[in-house]
Structure 1
Amino acid sequence: MKQPMQCQMEMDQMMESKTGHGISYRCYGDPEGKPVFYFHGWPGSRHEGQLFSDLAKENNCLLVAPERPGYGRSSAVGHLSLRSWALLMGELSDHLGLPAFSVMGLSGGGPHACAVMSCLSSKVDRGALLVPMGPMNAREGVLRMHPLQRLMAEITPLAPWFPKTLMAMVRPLLRRTPGLTLWAMRRFLLPDCDQKALSRKELQPILQKTMAESLIHGISGMYGDGLRFLEPWQHTLDAVSCPVKIWHGFADTIVPIEFGMYVASKIKDSEGEWLEQEGHFSVPMAHAQACFKFLSQ
């Protein structure tokens, strides 16, 4: 297919939406390939798509990586629901001249990919979810969350100042010393499989850049994501009609595998790869090739 309008490769681009949101995005991979919208993790930025640029090109996929409002160069204009995010992605597909596309969601990008598959079912060909966050009524997943994550999820509706204060406290560290943050995460929070995955030298510049960029204008992107995670979006999963494949590891200490299993159980045409001795970062590194093969079909 011809390269879409407004999709110059690996350059910052902006779409001004009808709702007043400025959505920043980058394109990676094959400019004439099958379009795939890539939804980054929490926190994340448009630069995260660079992790998969070579694989997208090898598999003839055009990877479009938009930033959610409040991250990087995307503007923060009030709170955005999951449904509103999906409608923005419909605008972006029209902006790019794409009548149809597939979606790929990583971690915190999972709920956003599901929203697009649900709300824009006539436009979405396929969906791939890597270690996806699930809805809060997946209680087995919630119970296995890190205690601080669970506390933030449960207290936010009652005391929204608490997560805002905590995020504001850690933002300078994440923003100014992303390398140190990644080292500490590897050293103290992650299983061996994830430590090994993150030790790859070629990943460090991309991960540090996307972490620093995600918080350049504050915590609104992170906080907005958190509010969307708390929506009762489990009720929308039965509207997903395209084929969906999920990859998740039993050793995931960031997003427990029970979330991925719950999402798979609610989507009619879904298949799950439940991976022994794989974690939150090792899964996308080890199984992205299979993910792109699925998306390129």
Structure 2
Amino acid sequence: MNKQYIMLDDGNKISYMTYGKGKKVVLFFHGLVGGSYISKDWKKEIEAKNITLIAIERSGYGNSSKIKMKNVSQWIPIAKQIAKQLKLSKVDLVGCSAGAPYAYATASALEEIVEKVYILGGVPSAYKDSVLKHYDTSNQEAYKSFMTKPMNEIQEYYKEQLNDFKKYLKKDEDDYIEKTIDENLKQDCFGISQECKLQIENWGMCLSEIKQPIFLHHAVNDEMVPYEAAKEMTNYLQNCSFEEIHINGDKVHISSISKAFLQILNVIGYNVSNR
């Protein structure tokens, strides 16, 4: 499966991969250490449904250009160009973890195209005091440090973290994690580092103006994005519902996202087949 490209008006490019050949189109926004590669389990479920999933690689991820952004709202004109070039008509959005802000921005950009928005373990608007207060002190300080810390310092930190992680990564036939890490390292962790800064900066858009139904799915004991911080988003979105995910064990954040993703594929696939 090969990557495809969208050439933007300014000469930059956005890369993506497509899974499935179904009637319903879903735009997928990956997490912080992410890209367009997905697991074999996800591929299998997508192909079994009447769904086409387009996994978008954001600025500085995968093979996308390193586009400097001042806030998340600068994704809006990019989303419009993506929709135009892909000739999209009706789509649903899925935003995982750090992909959540970009799902919101895309919904805002494409009011006539986007039907529903699914947020899985989504990063909330941490620039709001009412949200940030639900993080522990160390994470609040880390977030605030991203506002002033130079990009190159953040990049060096994540490069070190990913290189260390690779040492303990078990070799597996399903090597999407290794491919994702390698691509982030090849990009000097630009995408990861820029998003760390953008999460804590004012996103530059009015969340309450998003009209589409938004379905928030979040684990009660999420170890990365506090449950109460995520639930705070219901105060800023006019048309949303919140579903608790109960899951135990290690890596609750990742496991809960995968669980919710497989569930919503069933919902989307069912809705398509019954139209």
Question: What is the TM-score normalised by the length of structure 1?
Answer: 0.80
Q: CA deviation at 1:135?
A: 0.7
Q: CA deviation at 1:49?
A: 7.1
Q: Which residue of 2 aligns with 1:188?
A: none
Within the candidate set 30, 34, 46, 2:24 is matched to: 34
Partners in 2 of 1:49 and 1:115 — Cα distance? 26
User: Which deviations, in whole Å up to 9, do the C-alpha atoms of 1:177-201 show, x marking residues without a partner?
Assistant: 5362x68xxxxxxxxxxxxxxxxx7
Could you tell me whether the CA contact under 8 Å between 1:21 and 1:69 is conserved in 2? no
Partners in 1 of 2:114 and 2:75 — Cα distance? 15
| SS of 1:84 mapped into structure 2 | helix
Could you tell me whether the CA contact under 8 Å between 1:20 and 1:77 is conserved in 2? no
1:71 aligned onto 2:71: no
Partners in 2 of 1:19 and 1:290 — Cα distance? 38
1:265 aligned onto 2:265: no
Kindly tell me: are residues 272 and 25 of structure 1, through their superposed partners in 2, closer, same or farther at Cα, counting changes over 3 Å? same
1:120 aligned onto 2:93: no
Q: CA deviation at 1:165?
A: 1.6
Kindly report the root-mean-square deviation, in angstroms, between the aligned alpha carbons of the 2 structures.
Answer: 2.5
| SS of 2:37 mapped into structure 1 | helix
Could you tell me whether the CA contact under 8 Å between 2:127 and 2:199 is conserved in 1? no
> Any stretches of 5+ residues in structure 1 without a counterpart?
1-9, 184-200
Aligned residues: 266
> Any stretches of 5+ residues in structure 2 without a counterpart?
none
User: Which deviations, in whole Å up to 9, do the C-alpha atoms of 1:114-151 show, x marking residues without a partner?
Assistant: 11112222221111110000012454653443655432
Within the candidate set 29, 52, 69, 1:62 is matched to: 52
Partners in 1 of 2:176 and 2:136 — Cα distance? 26
Within the candidate set 50, 54, 72, 1:82 is matched to: 72
Within the candidate set 209, 215, 222, 2:185 is matched to: 215
Shifted more, 83-92 versus 126-135: the winner is 83-92
Within the candidate set 71, 93, 105, 1:103 is matched to: 93
1:206 aligned onto 2:176: yes
Q: Which residue of 2 aligns with 1:195?
A: none
Kindly tell me: are residues 131 and 93 of structure 1, through their superposed partners in 2, closer, same or farther at Cα, counting changes over 3 Å? same
Q: Which residue of 1 aligns with 2:2?
A: 11
| SS of 1:218 mapped into structure 2 | coil
Q: CA deviation at 1:243?
A: 1.4
1:24 aligned onto 2:12: no
Partners in 1 of 2:109 and 2:176 — Cα distance? 31
User: Which deviations, in whole Å up to 9, do the C-alpha atoms of 1:54-103 show, x marking residues without a partner?
Assistant: 22222211111111111121111322532221321221121111122111
Kindly tell me: are residues 251 and 21 of structure 1, through their superposed partners in 2, closer, same or farther at Cα, counting changes over 3 Å? same
| SS of 1:43 mapped into structure 2 | coil
Partners in 2 of 1:144 and 1:215 — Cα distance? 31
Could you tell me whether the CA contact under 8 Å between 1:28 and 1:56 is conserved in 2? yes
| SS of 1:222 mapped into structure 2 | helix
1:165 aligned onto 2:135: no
Q: CA deviation at 1:223?
A: 1.9
Shifted more, 13-22 versus 258-267: the winner is 258-267
Identity level (%) = 21
Could you tell me whether the CA contact under 8 Å between 2:134 and 2:229 is conserved in 1? no
Shifted more, 205-214 versus 34-43: the winner is 205-214
Kindly tell me: are residues 62 and 43 of structure 1, through their superposed partners in 2, closer, same or farther at Cα, counting changes over 3 Å? same
Q: Which residue of 2 aligns with 1:3?
A: none
User: Which deviations, in whole Å up to 9, do the C-alpha atoms of 1:171-220 show, x marking residues without a partner?
Assistant: 0441475362x68xxxxxxxxxxxxxxxxx776x2222212222312122
1:290 aligned onto 2:263: yes
Could you tell me whether the CA contact under 8 Å between 2:30 and 2:55 is conserved in 1? yes
1:153 aligned onto 2:143: yes
Could you tell me whether the CA contact under 8 Å between 1:164 and 1:219 is conserved in 2? no
Question: What is the TM-score normalised by the length of structure 2?
Answer: 0.86
Partners in 2 of 1:107 and 1:68 — Cα distance? 14
Partners in 2 of 1:21 and 1:84 — Cα distance? 14
Kindly tell me: are residues 234 and 283 of structure 1, through their superposed partners in 2, closer, same or farther at Cα, counting changes over 3 Å? farther
Partners in 1 of 2:167 and 2:118 — Cα distance? 29
